[in-house]
Structure 1
Amino acid sequence: MRHFADQTAIAMPSLIYLAWGRPQRPRANLIQTLHTVEALDELGAQVRLCLPPLPRGFDLAGFLAGMGIRRPLDLRACPSLHRRWGGWPFALLHRGELRRADVVYTRVPQLSRVLARFGIAHWLEIHDTEPLAQAGRLAPLIALAAAGRIRGFVTVSAAGREALLAAGAAAGQVAVLPNGVDLTAFGSVPPLGVQDFAAPRALYVGRISRDRGLGLFERIAAAGTPVTLVGPRDHDPAPGSEGLRVEPAVAHARVPECYRPAQLALMPYQTDLAHATSISPIKLFEAMAAGRLVIASDLAPIRELVQDGVNGLLVAADDATAWNAAIARVRADPAWALAMAEQGRRSVEAFSWRARAQRLLALTTPQRVAGSVFGSSS
């Protein structure tokens, strides 16, 4: 880890990223945060990532390597950012530093409200518009943006942006920055051939739960397609589920290896998933970058990347018969399946983490990045 004070000579934006993700219990939000911060650092931005405290003896270097992070980061584990305190001690202790930063950025609505109370203008990335709206927390955030206390909102999907606009956010204060993928890591997965789709094997990597399609996985496996699930389990498969293999979670850096024996990547997000209306799944970008054919739930945010029959297949979220019919179409026309998988790989070439970091800097510090490397292509 490098220290923020050592970088004062760098004439690039100083950006403080506040997160609540815990390395001891990593989830997709921390994967996104770490890779975005690493890409910002690679571009030359002066960036510090602040996280809650770590357990004594925690192997942070090993954790970062397991997450696929290759650069040393200015990462601070801050006791005052412990979730139990709600962010108040951190904002109080560091308010001077936060006010001096060119950019303060977070994806935690609770921290956003605290920052606003201390008069610290910042950017808020929102992923879960529907839960916030249902809890009555979205309107107050939009009011803070109208008052200038939140500089702007970032969503990871156009569907999320539309939800914010429908709730009253000003169009000029909402930008879309989709998630990204490590193109180098996932591009190293060996390509497939036509013959591979004659008897395809399916894979899902991620949290295993009913609202992420566990019931569909059981039905697909029962119909004769071998399915492997890799990830932490919220729910167990039904007893006697034939053809369904469940493996424990692996370090994120090892996920590309999981795709080697598979041809199909299943993404059966269910409509009752809390963030189904504004999702931008990292695993979707990763599967496409690995050259695997994506079969996904036909949800508005998924359609922003997947075109049915062009670079993947879209199926009604809860219709097991339709999912098995889609796989049958793959078996019947392997050449078509391979063409879609290859088009999927091309479709995500513009979604590197570096490209996302470039867009983030261009959005939050346009006067600092004009004419610099941030204006170049990824």
Structure 2
Amino acid sequence: MLALAVSLKFQRMQKVDNPELIYLGRSRLHRNRANLIQTLHTVAALADIGVKTRLYLPPWHKTVTPQQRCEEMGISNTPDIRGVQLLHRRWPTSLFPRFYKRQLRKARAVFVRSPELSLGLGAQGISHHFEVHTLQPMHQKGMLDTIIDYHRRRLIGCLIPISQSAAAALVAAGADETRIHVSPSGVDLRRFEELPDLEPERLARPRIIYLGRISRDRGLQILTHLAASGSGEVRLVGDCEDRLTELPNLHHQPAVPHREVASLYAESELVVLPYQQSLSTADAMSPMKLFEAMAAGRVIVASDIPPIREILEHGRNALLAPPEDPAAWEAAIKTLMHNHRLAGKLAQQARQDAAAYSWTNRAAGIARAIGLRN
């Protein structure tokens, strides 16, 4: 009850301004995770295009401030971010909508990316828009039917999946396809435009990089095979969930602040994205690292799965390989090692294609979809 009292006191202390858009998140500001990075970039971009946006997050540790975290991500203008106890996972998701109902109804739009928060808002009769990042957990937890019901009843105005694959699955489950807006992840193009173009001749002995959480469902077996086969120097950057095999060509380092990602790509020629079908988000994903690799102008070899095929075309802007076939990945790398002209063409096309996926473009599309901009 103490935390509840603190939350209500915090609410009374807020300024009485009326944002156009209230964005509710469950990411902790002190945890440098992909969902936080995407949320902050999207909210900052919405503010940059003139949508007055307020972001509510769970409370965060005093070791970090919103300004510090935004600076780490290359966000120059810190958006309106407020911490609220009732968004902490220890509390039922119905409490925040219940106690903040008046503020939520004053806003022109309410936006969430958590299915639990969407259900909490719907239970309180609060209309909102829901950004869909994964379908499998919603199926497993029995949430999807209620989400679809809220959508058809317009308690959820717009469903915003991050891939066409997810959109098709939502329509198949009964969603109204006229109120679905597909919005892939984005990239801060400014942070990558200074990177030099790929030097294809360096692919004779490529520096291969993978960034992100390292696990079997993200292709650890592919990564270790590439190192063991002598395909190049394989560098893994991120938290590792499994014990790594000690190999001369395999190097691991912990996750780095997001602002350092561009420099890591500058020190590499080839990016691998070996997502497996067993990954819980494989049916709906739109990984930021994909768009960052494209913007960096590096050669990409990625898993041949539906959400990835929406962005990458084999032989045009990347090479695609069967997720669970190490030999096919090795063959793709060796093709690039011996065909520098192809490698240069793929990297150049990927960089050109990345221009469509700026955070500003993403924010503008969302603002139009939810009725805040024409």
By how many angstroms is 1:57 displaced? 4.6
| Offset, 1:241 | 2.4
Q: Please tell me the root mean square deviation across aligned C-alpha atoms, in Å.
A: 1.5
Correspondence for 2:277? 271
The aligned residue for residue 155 of structure 1 is 161
Deviation at 1:191, TM superposition (A): 1.2
Is 1:353 matched up with 2:366? no
Looking at structure 1, the residues matched to 107 and 65 of structure 2 have their Cα atoms a distance apart, in angstroms, of 29
1:330-369 to structure 2, matched below 5 A, reads 330-365=336-371, 368-369=372-373
Range with greater deviation from structure 2 (292-301 or 88-97)? 88-97
Distance in 1 between residues matched to 2:373 and 2:312, nearest whole Å: 31
CA contact (8 A) 2:111 2:130 kept: yes
The Cα of 1:4 is off from its aligned counterpart by 8.0
Amino acid at match of 1:331: M
Cα distance change of structure 1 residues 289 and 96 upon mapping to structure 2, 3 Å threshold: same
What is residue 236 of structure 1 aligned with on the other side? 243
Structure 1 residue 195 displacement after superposition: 1.4
Distance 1:349 1:360 in 2: 17
Paired with 1:287 and 1:364, the residues of 2 have a C-alpha distance of 29
Pick one of 44, 48, 55 that aligns with 1:42. Answer: 48
| Superimposed CA distance per residue, residues 116-159 of structure 1 (whole angstroms, 9 cap, x where no aligned partner) | 11111000111111221233211111011112211121000000
Q: Deviations over 1:339-376 (max 9, x none)?
A: 100100011111100000000001101xx522xxxxxx
Moved over 4 A (4+): 3-8
Moved more, 153-162 or 49-58: 49-58
Contact 1:68 1:253 in 2 (8 A): yes
What are structure 2's unaligned runs of at least 5 residues? 1-12
Q: Which residue of structure 2 lines up, in the alignment, with residue 376 of structure 1? A: none
The answer as to whether partners of 1:52 and 1:80 remain within 8 angstroms in 2 is yes
TM-score by length of 1: 0.92
Mapped to 1, the partners of 2:14 and 2:52 lie a distance apart of: 8
* Alpha-carbon separation, structure 2, partners of 1:4 and 1:47: 14
Q: Counterpart of 1:178?
A: 184
Aligned counterparts, 1:1-378, within 5 A: 5=15, 14-224=20-230, 225-238=232-245, 240-365=246-371, 368-370=372-374
Report the residue type matching 1:197 in the other structure.
L
Where 1:113 maps in the other structure, the secondary structure is helix
CA contact (8 A) 2:205 2:233 kept: no
**2:167 is aligned with what amino acid?**
R
Verify the 8 A CA contact 2:301 2:318 in the aligned structure 1: yes
Report if aligned partners of 1:86, 1:110 keep a CA contact under 8 Å in 2: no
- Whether contact under 8 Å (1:197, 1:338) holds in the other structure is no
Give the deviation of 1:5 after TM superposition: 4.4
Provide closer, same or farther for how the CA distance between residues 17 and 333 of structure 1 changes in structure 2, counting only shifts above 3 A: same
Normalised by the length of structure 2, the TM-score is 0.93
Runs of 5+ consecutive residues of structure 1 not aligned to the other structure: 371-378
Deviation at 1:107, TM superposition (A): 0.4
CA contact (8 A) 1:291 1:341 kept: yes
Report if the CA contact (8 A) 1:203-1:264 is conserved: yes
Deviating more after overlay: 75-84 vs 317-326: 75-84
How many residues align? The count is: 361
Q: Which moved more, 1:85-94 or 1:72-81?
A: 85-94
**One-letter amino acid matched to 1:234:** E
Partners of 2:137 and 2:364 in 1: how far apart?
29
> Deviation digits for residues 181-200 of structure 1, max 9, x if unmatched?
00010222221123122221
Task: Determine the C-alpha separation between the residues in 1 that align with 2:63 and 2:201.
Answer: 49
Give the C-alpha shift of residue 7 in structure 1.
6.1
SS state of the match for residue 119, structure 1? coil
Q: Which stretch of structure 1 is more off in the superposition, 204-213 or 55-64?
A: 55-64
Does the CA-based 8 Å contact 1:4-1:47 persist in structure 2?
A: no
Instruction: Give the deviation of 1:261 after TM superposition.
Output: 1.5
Aligned residues of 2:276 and 2:282 also touching (Cα < 8 A): yes
Determine what percentage of the aligned residue pairs are the same residue.
40
SS of 1:91 mapped into structure 2: helix
Moved more, 244-253 or 187-196: 187-196
Cα-to-partner distance string for 1:302-349 (whole Å, 9 max, x where unaligned): 000100011000000010000000011001111110110010001111
1:301 and 1:210 map into 2 onto residues whose CA distance is 19
